[in-house]
Amino acid sequence: MLAFILAAALACSPAPETNSTPQLSGNNIPEIVSAMTLEEKVRLIIGTSTTIEDVAGDVGNAGGRKVPGAAGATAAIERLGIPSVVLADGPAGLRISPRRKDSDKTYYCTGFPVGTLMASCWNPEIVGQVGAAMGNEVLEYGVDVLLAPGINIHRNPLCGRNFEYYSEDPLIAGETAAAFINGVQSQGVGTSVKHFALNNQELNRLACNSVASEDVMKEIYLRNFEIAVKKSQPWTLMTSYNYINGVHAAENTHLITDVLRSQWGFEGAVMTDWGGGYHGDRIVAAGNDMIQPGSRRFARDIVDAVREGSLSMAEVDACVERILRLVVKTPSFKAYKYSDAPDLEAHAKVSREAAQEGIVLLKRGALPVGIRSKVALFGVASYDFIAGGTGSGDVNKAYVVDLKQGLENCGFTLDGKVDAYYKNYMERERKRCAMVDRPRDGNWYIDKERPLEVVCEDLIASAAGNADIAIITIGRISGESKDRSVQFNYMLSREELRLIRTVSEAFHKQGKKLTVLLDVCGVVDVTSWEKYADDIVLCWLPGQEGGNAVANVLSGKVNPSGRLPMTFPRNYADDPTSDNFPEIFTDKPFNYSNYRNTRDGIVRNEIPCVDYTEYSEGLFVGYRYYTSKNVDVQYPFGYGLSYTTFSWGKMKLRKVEGGWEASVSVRNTGDVPGKDVVEIYLQAPEGTVDRPVRELKAFAKTGLLDSGKSETLRMFIPEYLCEYAISDGKLKSGWEFVPMKNALEN
């Protein structure tokens, strides 16, 4: 009955093709739009869900048929020469199915480091290299648009998708995103920067109302998107699931049309997140061009609104034109003959080099370790390395190099007793995990079971006498649709703490050292155990080559140069949003069925941090809060150690058109080659209370400097990033640019 009603509402069928029927050529888009029927326009707007065959004709899930595992596609309209465009997930690598029916071939993609590690590089050049490698896989596997990068701000350490995102700072997030986008799009395929905007929690993400002032949105939660758009022009942008000040993101005319297009000059197409939005006509009227994956309901909304006159045909045509401008740029339109055979070996090398670049040395006491050393390798994550997160940010990759394999590849010898113990233990744990996971296969958003940590005191005592150094890996994973909990994910478990303490005491008693590696999805507690570790190395979720990358850093083959793109607080309660973020007291999923029906489009403001979240901290997010309020932290924003030392010359600053140019000379004063990062902050006059004490405005990273060598870094600081501190094109009295090693130390 529903299909019959919709067909009656459309009341038209595609016009028959004649010799005079125009064919899309790239320079005749207005002519094509004029030749389209309302049905065809609606088909193009609403995607290709298999539930809308009465609207989309025989297209079905074209993306799934052409490239199995792709997230979706646009509809093909053969009558007018309009091909289907394939869209696929991919913040850390292209996400498609590795196996296909009637084919023995595998279609693996490279598992690159997660977004947070890419931001930890503080190096747009290497981020661009990752983007180019990823874009090549998109091209050669027949995909047109990569649904990445995700660039939402790390408002709180517990957001389940923080690993996909970049930073608590909009400049780092925007610059990293722009480099990634430019790299991907250099391959002739598109990107979709997401999630626009204020998607900073996963709990009730389909209906939660994010409440923030215009100034806070402009300077923190939109600035990252603004930088990315202005510096890279992504082909598409994806709106988020949540409401923003009472208006759904997908239906938000102010953000999509007034800000994104009119103020920033965005030239691409806008699409909803999958299943985002409630009213098809309002989505189109807002300038949101594509509704993914589409449904009868959205089609009916659009058609009824056009018939009733509440939605103009001009508004529909504007969306269709922008979609067609996207289509004509794609490999599918250009009939590119993709190979299904990208150079995965070369891309694995890029992944490894990027992972090495973003590893952050948090504490140093023993590193680097000579490869002749015998290593006692502890921790289940050492033998079951976590390469990436779950959900749409995952990648179907051919392999993951764990730390055991990485150390052996690097030339280290492992303590045989410890290695044999974990081999037997992990076999049992993998079987247990498989049994636990089996009944949950249908719930993709539920975390897979991880091996439990184990402590064997006799084994540890024996290893302390036989090995030269101990290494423990602590692992954490998270993913789409669920935020992390303080108890089960942020804090270390009782067994993990016991393992660190026991190994530390045993090895220190023998005059030997302990290195702790953090293979984690986000910020974790360090305060409670930091004193037991001689070295702390943060590798985030480093992709499929993670074990090799970490081993190269531990051995000194690579000098760590990563810097934190967020703050590590001493305690979670110190975070300025800790009282205004959903606290999860269980490891069970919270999103879809745990709360109310979110499909009715009604804004509820009843339960704080569930129905609505107030961004009451204002501008004081992350380091902006800690530095301004003098709150002690474990590791500050921008922090990272090296195996060498550097000295800086005095910063030179000159006014140029549209901003300032700053230059700083950096010299390697140590004994080994290394890279350094210069961070420039705009510092407020003493006594300023309505603004953060300092905010990052520029940064740059040196190349690899040999001992005694120097390099002058030049950085551009745009005026629009500093407008609150400018009068008549100059900085107001008391404001100054300060070069710093991190947000606390200059």
- List, by residue number, the catalytic residues: 273
Taking CA atoms, 154 is separated from 18, 119, 477, in Å, by 55, 12, 16
Is the sign of the CA dihedral 628, 630, 636, 641 positive or negative? positive
Smallest Cα–Cα separation from 259: which of 311, 209, 216, 223? Answer: 223
Q: How many angstroms separate the CA atoms of 602 and 188, rounded? A: 41
Residues 6+ apart with CB under 8 A from 573: none
Are residues 111 and 397 in contact, defined by beta-carbon separation less than 8 angstroms?
yes
Using the structure block, give the residue that is written with the tokens 């392999």.
Answer: 399
Please give the structure tokens belonging to residue 200: 């900073």
> 3-state secondary structure string, 247-293?
EEHHHCHHHHHHHHHHHCCCCCEEECCCCCCCCHHHHHHCCCCECCC
What is the C-alpha separation between 503 and 513, in angstroms, rounded? 9
Residue with tokens 């509440």: 310
Going by C-alpha positions, the residue among 212, 65, 186 that lies closest to residue 131 is: 186
Structure tokens at 71: 């997230």
Q: Which two tokens stand for residue 709?
A: 């060598």
Half-sphere exposure in the Cβ direction for 113 (13 Å, CA):
36
Whats the size of the chain, residue-wise?
Answer: 746
Residue pair 671/559 in contact (Cβ under 8 Å)? The answer is no
Residue 222, phi then psi, degrees to nearest 5: -110, -20
Handedness of CA 483, 487, 488, 490 (dihedral sign): positive
**Distance from C-alpha of 98 to C-alpha of 340, rounded to nearest angstrom:** 11
Adjacent-strand bridge partners of 403: none
User: How many other C-beta atoms can be found within 10 angstroms of the C-beta atom of residue 609?
Assistant: 18
